[in-house]
Amino acid sequence: MTAAKQFDIVIVGGGAAGIATASSLLSRAAHMAIAVIEPADRHYYQPGWTMVGAGIFSAASTAKTTAAVMPAGVTWIKQAVTEFSPDDNEIGLADGSTVGYERLVVCPGLKLNWAGVEGLEDNLGRNGVTSNYSFKTAPYTWDLVQNLKSGKALFTQPPMPIKCAGAPQKALYLSADHWHRSGTLNNIDVGFFTATPSLFGVAHYVPALMKYVEKYGAELHFEHTLTKIDGATKIATFTRADGEEVQSDFDMIHVCPPQCAPDFIRQSPLVDEAGWVDVDPATLQSRRYENVWALGDVMNAPNAKTAAAARAQAPVVATNLLQHAGLNTGMGHYNGYGSCPLTVERGKIVLAEFGYGGKLLPSFPKWLIDGQYPSVLAWLLKARALPWIYWNAMLKGREWLVKPALGAEESS
C-alpha cells in the first residue's frame, strides 16, 4: 500500500482519549501534522449518563458535535478505521483509502456487546429493559424509576473488564435513593446481579458501599452473569459461576452490557491474547511496534477504564511520543490512576481514586474528601466541576493535576 495522505501523527478515535491526546500534542508541538480519524458526528461525555439515568442531567448536556471538540490545527478525517498495517506505517479506512503516519496513537474505545445477551437488543428501551451505557436509553432509566411504585428492580454487571466498573451499581443507588425519598422503596425488591466475586475491586471502598446496600435493602448476587432477557414475560436468566442457570422476574432491569475490544482492533496485529492493544503499562507504548501508542478503554494496562484514566494518560502519551520523535520532552510514566465517583445517593458520592494494584491515589487531602465516606463535596465535583473540566480542560490540553513528572530515560 502507498497511502495518499501522510501525517506526522495519526490518532485513531476522537473520543475522550483521542481529543485529549491531540490537544496535549498540539500544546507541546504545534507544528506537527496531526490527523484524528473519527467517524461519528457527535462526541459524548459518557460519565454524565449515570446522572441522566437519575434525572439530574439532561441527555443533551452530555453531547457536542465532533466538529466543536476537534482542536484547531488537526485534520479531522471523518471515516472509520478498518485495518492496521503497522509494518508499512499505514492504516486502511472504510472508504477503501489509506493513511500513512510516522507515529500512531490508537484509542477507539471499546465495544459494547449488546448481542452478547440473548434478547437484549430486541428489548432495550422498552419492556422495562434499560441501560445508562447508551445515550439513547439513559433517559428511559429515569422514566422507569419514576414510574415504578412497587415490584422488582434488577441491576446487572457483566464480567470485567468494563468501562467505569462502578456505573452498574451507581444506577442501583440513585434509583433506590429516589424510591427511598418518595416512600416506595418498601414496596420494591432491589437486586444486584454481578459476574464479579465482590461489590468493588478495591476493598477500601466496600464498607461505605455496603452501608448503602443495607440502607436500600438490595440483595447481592455475586458471580451471576446475565445471559438472556425475555421482554414479553419479563424474565432474566443468569448463569452462575458453578454453571447453574437461575431466573428472576423483573418489572425493570438496568443492564450493563458485556464489553470487549472493537472487532477491527481484535483482528489487528497490535493486540494481546484477549484482543486488547498490548502496551507497556507505564509508557503506554506498544510492546510490538515502537512507533505506536495506545490509551483509553482499548488497551490492556490493568487500570480502571475511565475518562479520568484517559485524562492522566493523554499527557503521558503526548510526552513519550514527542520524545520518540526527538523533541526531548522527557519520558512520562502513567501510574494507573483512574477514578470512580460512586453516586451512593443524590447529593453524596464515595470517591474512589486508585492506581495500579489498587494503590489509593486521592487527589484531595482526607479532611476535604475522604474516599472511605460519602461526601457532599465529591458530589459537587461530579455534578458541577467534572463536566466543565472535561470540556474545557481535558479536551483542550490543560493538564491540571495530570502534567506528567518527567524522567530522563530514552524512548525505545
Q: SS3 of 31, please?
A: coil
Distance, in Å, from the CA atom of 265 to the CA atom of 260, rounded to the nearest integer, reads 10
Task: State how far the alpha carbon of 85 is from the alpha carbons of 154, 272, 285, 396, in Å.
Answer: 44, 16, 17, 30
Query: Residue 84 carries which side chain, given as an amino acid letter?
Result: F
Q: Among all chains, which residue has been given the C-alpha cell 485524562?
A: 311
* Smallest distance, ligand FAD to C-beta of residue 112, A: 8
| Torsion angle, alpha carbons of 222, 224, 230, 232, to 10 | -20
Nearer to ligand FAD, 91 or 153 (CB): 91
* Smallest distance, ligand FAD to C-beta of residue 295, A: 7
Choose, from 107, 256, 260, 340, the residue flagged as catalytic: 340
Give the residue closest to ligand FAD by C-beta: 15
* Smallest distance, ligand FAD to C-beta of residue 232, A: 27
Nearer to ligand FAD, 185 or 345 (CB): 345
Distance, in Å, from the CA atom of 303 to the CA atom of 335, rounded to the nearest integer, reads 9
* Smallest distance, ligand FAD to C-beta of residue 150, A: 27
Distance, in Å, from the CA atom of 31 to the CA atom of 142, rounded to the nearest integer, reads 47
* Smallest distance, ligand FAD to C-beta of residue 236, A: 20
| Residues near ligand FAD (CB under 6 A) | 12-18, 37-40, 46-47, 49-50, 80-81, 107-109, 132-133, 163-164, 167, 262, 264, 296-298, 305-308, 310, 339, 341
Q: Where are the alpha helices (DSSP H) in 127-166?
A: 138-147
Distance, in Å, from the CA atom of 374 to the CA atom of 157, rounded to the nearest integer, reads 22
Nearer to ligand FAD, 52 or 190 (CB): 52
Nearer to ligand FAD, 133 or 276 (CB): 133
CB count, 10 Å around CB of 260? Answer: 18
Which residue, among 112, 127, 203, has the nearest Cα to 164 in the 3D structure?
112
* Smallest distance, ligand FAD to C-beta of residue 200, A: 14
- Whether residue 260 lies in the annotated active site: no
* Smallest distance, ligand FAD to C-beta of residue 242, A: 30
| Torsion angle, alpha carbons of 178, 184, 188, 192, to 10 | 20
Nearer to ligand FAD, 92 or 128 (CB): 92
Nearer to ligand FAD, 332 or 338 (CB): 338
* Smallest distance, ligand FAD to C-beta of residue 285, A: 17
Q: Do the bridges between strand 151-157 and strand 252-255 make them parallel or antiparallel, or are there none, so unpaired?
A: parallel
- Whether residue 107 lies in the annotated active site: no
Nearer to ligand FAD, 185 or 260 (CB): 260
Going 147 to 150 to 151 to 155, the CA torsion angle's sign is: positive
CA angle at 371 for the pair 53 and 391, rounded to the nearest 5°: 50
Which residue, among 123, 104, 107, has the nearest Cα to 115 in the 3D structure?
123
Return the percent helix, strand and coil in the chain, to nearest 5.
30, 30, 40
Cis before residue 302, ω within 30 degrees of 0?
no
Please give the distance of CA 196 from its chain centroid, rounded to a whole number: 18
Nearer to ligand FAD, 48 or 234 (CB): 48
Choose, from 107, 164, 256, 260, the residue flagged as catalytic: 164
Backbone φ and ψ of 189, nearest 5° = -85, 125
93, β-bridge pairs: 81
Q: Among all chains, which residue has been given the C-alpha cell 476537534?
A: 70
- Which residues are identified as catalytic? 164, 340
